[in-house]
Amino acid sequence: MSMDSSKSINADDAGAHRAQRLRLAVLDMVGTTITDDGRTERAMSFALQETGVEPGSPRFESMLGYARDTMGFSKMTVFSHLFEEAQRAESANKAFERAYDDLIADGGVRAIPGAEETIDWMRDSGVKVCLATGFGRHTQNMVLESLGWMGKADLSLCPADAGRGRPYPDMILTAVLALDLDDVREVVVVGDTSSDMLSGLRSGASAVVGVLTGFHSEAALRAAGATAVVPSVKDVPALLEPRAARL
């Protein structure tokens, strides 16, 4: 596989835990397996305005900056940090979900090239797949339905399914339990944000792979614990092939 040096895989990345067989891949959605062309941020901006934050004000820009930095977190967790009052946080989250539903109604969400093939390769290789998100269940289902991806993976999880969202490891551990794995070291986590990497590291997954199709840089992903960084999810099979469950 040919890449420029800024996106290369360190020799230690692929070999650090090679002996551990992989049986489950926990894949992030927006930025990793799908793209929404900035609709997440636009829906966030709308939610802040709906909750009384003046667009363009220092407070608005600070809040939007925090939302960018915490992409991958549960959206409810983000709003709970931004607003002291629980009722305002809930209102903002509902406004976000309404706005996002409207923004994806035009078919603006699409698979990142190679994502479907990667999911198919994993499942054909005996690796179960969980699609995980920081969205609420309703929004996650809307995205999956818009792509025709209902049933594409073995499991889909949102923060409410697990108790807490990223950067906590709860969704990964919930997937391990739901899919009857014996060992969390049989898990690979793939994502585009620091919170994806942190959740993978904290869960004890043996491989935590960052992709560069989303929100955070290679430096940020490695600083958060990535064991490998590749340009895109389509490059993950080449990295994992020696450790797939049936190989």
What's the CATH number where 165 sits?
Answer: 3.40.50.1000
Q: In terms of domains, do 97 and 149 share one?
A: no
* Helical pair 39-50 and 58-69, crossing angle rounded to 10 deg: 140
Q: Are residues 79 and 121 in the same domain?
A: no
Can you give the pLDDT at residue 136?
86
Domain count, the chain: 2
Dihedral angle computed from the Cα positions of residues 41, 44, 45 and 47, in that order, rounded to the nearest 10 degrees:
160
Give the pLDDT confidence of 154-173 residue by residue, as tens digits: 999 999 999 899 999 999 99
Residues 30 and 43 in one domain: no
Indicate if the pLDDT at residue 114 is higher than 90.
yes
Alpha carbon dihedral 239, 243, 246, 247, in 10-degree steps, equals 80
CA dist list (Å): 153 to 24, 100, 156 = 11, 23, 7
Q: Are residues 9 and 20 in the same domain?
A: yes
Quote the pLDDT of residue 245.
Answer: 58
Please indicate, yes or no, whether residues 163 and 224 belong to a single structural domain of this protein: yes
Q: Which of 6-15, 82-91, 136-145, 225-234 has the lowest mean pLDDT?
A: 6-15
Rounded mean pLDDT of 235-242?
89
pLDDT at 247 over 70: no
Locus of tokens 């986590």: 189
Residues 233 and 116 in one domain: yes
Q: Are residues 120 and 229 in the same domain?
A: yes
Q: Point out the domain boundary residue: 56, 89, 104.
A: 104
State the Cα–Cα distance between residues 213 and 239, nearest whole angstrom: 17
Q: What pLDDT was estimated at residue 72?
A: 79
Q: What is the mean pLDDT of residues 112-129?
A: 96
Range of the domain at 69: 39-104
Structure tokens that stand for 25 in this block: 């891949």
Clarify whether residues 54 and 19 are in a common domain: no
pLDDT band at 231; cut points 50, 70, 90:
very high
Distance CA 92, CA 78 (A): 10
- CA–CA separation, 13 and 4 (whole Å): 16
**Both 74 and 184 in a single domain?**
no
Co-location of 181 and 120 in the same domain:
yes
- Asked if 119 and 88 sit in the same domain, the reply is no
The pLDDT, as a whole number, for residue 162 is 94
Instruction: Indicate whether 57 and 75 sit together in one domain.
Output: yes
Under DSSP, is residue 42 helix (H, G, I), strand (E, B) or coil? Answer: helix
* 208 or 139: which leads in pLDDT: 208
> Of 59, 86, 104, which one is at a domain's C-terminal end?
104
pLDDT at position 100, please? 87
pLDDT in tens, 124-148: 999 999 999 988 898 899 899 989 9
Q: In the listed set 87, 104, 121, which residue is the last one of a domain according to the structure?
A: 104
